[in-house]
């Protein structure tokens, strides 16, 4: 039986940078076969040099990725994706600028063969406070960000250096349940947006993240309770944005404060990634010590 396909919903208000992030993910898929779902192709302009072939409702993208238009029937599109050969490794749904992504992911999680991986919300670093105060769109923006597992605080280059620290601290305090990634040009590390791609040496910074992130690899014995460990990592304040690994006969996932344990078999071990300087390495090691 095939493992459940992980689904990530990417949302955020108009102009936050969703399209830029999706194109970035496709350019840096690093061997993953990604399937991107969008209402209409015109709403998500894929970079032209990535496109290999176009059909009526399916675009083939370099690296084995695809982009699929689902119109008003998301369920039908997801069921179709499950029949593709080769099968996608990860599904990304790009929500409209006024949608509430958390509600989309909740409905996806009811489909057999799919696993809710997380909600990633793009927020315009320079304009977030203004949007929240807007009497017309403020409630929508707040509802979007409130449902995030990961907040990608985009366009940090438009915020003065003196104001960046205060902005990051304010967002972290306002939405403490979400992991926070401050980036420019939507260049969020793929390992963090879509899950940990492989085992890295303890303490190695992610190469394409400008040294902002670091990881630790934990050696885990078969006797460790996978569910208890996942919950502890997700809710214990260890600074982990993403974690993935195998504990006994279980595959463990953590994204922000969301966690899941599913049947799976692989080499024992767990990789945890977080912001550099905020990853509580000793505390994480103690969980499995």
> Which of residues 264 and 156 earns the better pLDDT score?
156
On whether residue 221 sits in a domain, the answer given is: yes
On whether residue 201 sits in a domain, the answer given is: no
- Short-list 108, 98, 102, 86, CA closest to 37: 108
- Reading the block at residue 66, the tokens are 């695809």
> Which of residues 132 and 269 earns the better pLDDT score?
132
Residues 147 and 29 in one domain: yes
We report the CATH number of the domain holding residue 274 as 3.30.1220.10
**How far is the CA of 60 from the CAs of 28, 64, 83, 160, 193, in angstroms?**
16, 7, 15, 40, 22
- Residue 1 predicted with pLDDT over 60: no
From its phi and psi, is residue 149 left (phi > 0), alpha (psi between -120 and 50) or beta?
Answer: alpha
Give the three-class secondary structure for 150.
Answer: strand
Q: What is the domain count for the chain?
A: 2
Q: What is the mean pLDDT of residues 46-53?
A: 84
Per-residue pLDDT band for 267 (boundaries 50, 70, 90) equals low
Residues 86 and 131 in one domain: yes
Give the predicted TM-score (pTM) of the model.
Answer: 0.83
We report the CATH number of the domain holding residue 153 as 3.40.50.300
pLDDT score for 153: 94
Residues 20 and 127 in one domain: yes
Last residue of some domain: 134, 161, 194? 194
Q: What is the mean pLDDT of residues 246-274?
A: 82
Last residue of some domain: 168, 194, 220? 194
Residues 20 and 53 in one domain: yes
On whether residue 154 sits in a domain, the answer given is: yes
Do 90 and 195 contact (CB within 8 A), yes or no?
A: yes
Do 93 and 9 contact (CB within 8 A), yes or no?
A: yes
Which residue range(s) make up the domain with 68? Answer: 5-194
Residues 49 and 189 in one domain: yes
Last residue of some domain: 161, 194, 227? 194
On whether residue 54 sits in a domain, the answer given is: yes
Per-residue pLDDT band for 46 (boundaries 50, 70, 90) equals confident
Per-residue pLDDT band for 196 (boundaries 50, 70, 90) equals low
Angle at 51 between CA 189 and CA 69, to 5 degrees: 85
Residues 11 and 62 in one domain: yes
Residues 94 and 234 in one domain: no
pLDDT score for 208: 38
> Which of residues 243 and 199 earns the better pLDDT score?
243
Residues 215 and 190 in one domain: no
On whether residue 200 sits in a domain, the answer given is: no
On whether residue 281 sits in a domain, the answer given is: yes
Residues 80 and 223 in one domain: no
CA pair distance 129, 141, nearest whole angstrom: 10
Residues 182 and 261 in one domain: no
Residues 222 and 127 in one domain: no
On whether residue 14 sits in a domain, the answer given is: yes
Residues 43 and 13 in one domain: yes
Q: What is the mean pLDDT of residues 120-127?
A: 94
pLDDT score for 44: 59
CA contacts within 13 A on the Cβ side of 94: 29
> Which of residues 90 and 269 earns the better pLDDT score?
90
CA pair distance 225, 247, nearest whole angstrom: 8
On whether residue 155 sits in a domain, the answer given is: yes
Sign of the CA dihedral 78, 246, 208, 237? positive
> Which of residues 221 and 173 earns the better pLDDT score?
173
């Amino acid at each position: 039986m095939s493992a459940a396909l992980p689904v990530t919903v990417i949302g955020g208000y108009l102009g936050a940078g969703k399209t830029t992030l999706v194109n970035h993910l496709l350019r840096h898929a690093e061997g993953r076969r990604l399937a991107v779902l969008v209402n209409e192709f015109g709403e998500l302009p894929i970079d032209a040099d990535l496109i290999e072939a176009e059909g009526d409702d399916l675009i083939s993208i370099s690296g084995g990725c695809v982009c699929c238009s689902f119109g008003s029937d998301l369920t039908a599109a997801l069921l179709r994706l499950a029949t593709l050969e080769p099968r996608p490794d990860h599904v990304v749904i790009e929500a409209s600028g006024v949608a509430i992504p958390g509600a989309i992911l909740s409905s996806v999680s009811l489909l057999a063969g799919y696993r809710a991986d997380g909600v990633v919300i793009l927020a315009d670093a320079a304009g977030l406070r203004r949007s929240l105060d807007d009497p017309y769109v403020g409630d929508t923006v707040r509802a979007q960000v409130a449902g995030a597992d990961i907040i990608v605080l985009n366009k940090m280059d438009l915020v003065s250096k003196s104001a960046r620290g205060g902005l990051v601290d304010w967002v972290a305090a306002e939405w403490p349940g979400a992991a926070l990634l401050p980036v420019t040009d939507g260049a969020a590390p793929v390992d963090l947006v879509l899950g940990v791609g492989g085992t890295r040496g303890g303490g190695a910074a992610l190469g394409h993240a400008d040294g902002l992130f670091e990881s630790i690899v934990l050696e885990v014995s078969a006797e460790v309770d996978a569910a208890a460990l996942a919950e502890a990592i997700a809710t214990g304040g260890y600074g982990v944005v993403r974690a993935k690994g195998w504990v006994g006969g279980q595959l463990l996932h953590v994204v922000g404060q969301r966690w899941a344990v599913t049947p799976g078999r692989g080499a024992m071990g767990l990789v945890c990634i977080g912001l550099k300087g905020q990853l509580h390495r000793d505390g994480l090691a103690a969980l499995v010590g």
